[in-house]
Amino acid sequence: MFVVPKDPVRSSQNLGLLTWEEANSKIQWGVVFIICGGMTLAEASKASGLSAILVSKLRALKVMPSYVVVSILCFSASIFTEFTSNAAISAIILPIVFEMAVALEVHPLYFGIPVTIACSFSFMLPAATPPNAIVFERGNFKISDMAAPGFLMNMMCVIVELISIHTLGPLVFGVHSFPPWAAQNHTETPAPSG
């Protein structure tokens, strides 16, 4: 758009269809940085081996009942997603959650579905999602204006999600039995060292 001239007949003297000043004044740079920063964070956690280290440390949760573990994971995901984008948290936490489910011999969907949905429960802070950032920036809100009602919404949504996975999960996905495909993956995947 910067290169295409407004008037093709006089292209050497013409500005482009879109000038940098026009684009810069209309682009919400905060939103762009939130999205790009979140994706960079997700890729860095994969490349650094952070996921493997966390799975090895979280194996200690095997002594807890699975409903407690999934509750902890969901509440954690809904809190983490307030500080970076939903996509970044999903990209970071879901591989860890699936590996942890296999290591604990729990159906991966029992952990994965509610945690994936909990990553979308970001109502408290502007950094959580681009729409939150846009509303915060354009609406002249304070963080406290968003945080209090957002926290209540997060908690209610996580509770509804946990009820759903325990009522509909067994009927729709059969989440209360460890599937053969996950057992096969469990025997083929070595435990991370460290």
Q: How many Cα atoms occupy the beta-carbon half-sphere of 150 within 13 Å? A: 22
Q: How many domains does the chain have?
A: 1
Single pTM value for the model: 0.70
Alpha carbon 97 to its chain's center: 12
Report whether 110 contacts 165 (CB < 8 A). Answer: yes
Instruction: Report yes or no on 36 lying in a domain.
Output: no
Q: What local confidence, expressed as pLDDT, does residue 194 receive?
A: 46
Residue pair 166/74 in contact (Cβ under 8 Å)? The answer is no
Q: Is residue 44 part of a domain?
A: no
Q: Give the pLDDT score at 10.
A: 63
Residue 173, in any domain of the structure:
yes
Q: How many CA atoms lie within 13 A of 132 on its CB side?
A: 24
DSSP string, 61-94: GGGS-HHHHHHHHHHHHHHHTTTS-HHHHHHHHH
SS3 at position 3: coil
> Is residue 9 in a domain?
no
Neighbours of 13 (CB within 10 A): 8
Query: Looking at the domain assignment, is residue 155 inside a domain?
Result: yes
Residue 64 sits at φ, ψ, to 5 deg, of -90, 150
**Per-residue confidence (pLDDT) for residue 169, from 0 to 100:** 93
Taking the C-alpha atoms of residue 46 and residue 92, their distance in angstroms, rounded to an integer, is 7
Residue 72 makes CB contacts below 8 A (sequence gap 6+) with 61
Q: Is residue 25 part of a domain?
A: no
φ/ψ bin of 171: left (φ > 0), alpha (ψ from -120 to 50), beta (otherwise): alpha
Q: Does residue 194 lie in a domain region?
A: no
Task: Please report, in tens digits, the pLDDT of each residue of the chain (194 residues total).
Answer: 656 766 666 656 667 777 777 777 877 777 777 677 767 776 787 788 887 787 778 777 878 999 999 999 999 999 988 887 777 788 788 888 888 888 888 999 999 999 999 999 988 988 788 888 888 888 888 888 889 999 999 999 999 999 999 999 999 999 989 998 887 765 444 444 44
Identify the pLDDT of residue 156.
96
Residue 8 confidence (pLDDT): 66
Domain limits at 55?
Answer: 49-188
- Assess if residue 137 is contained within a domain: yes
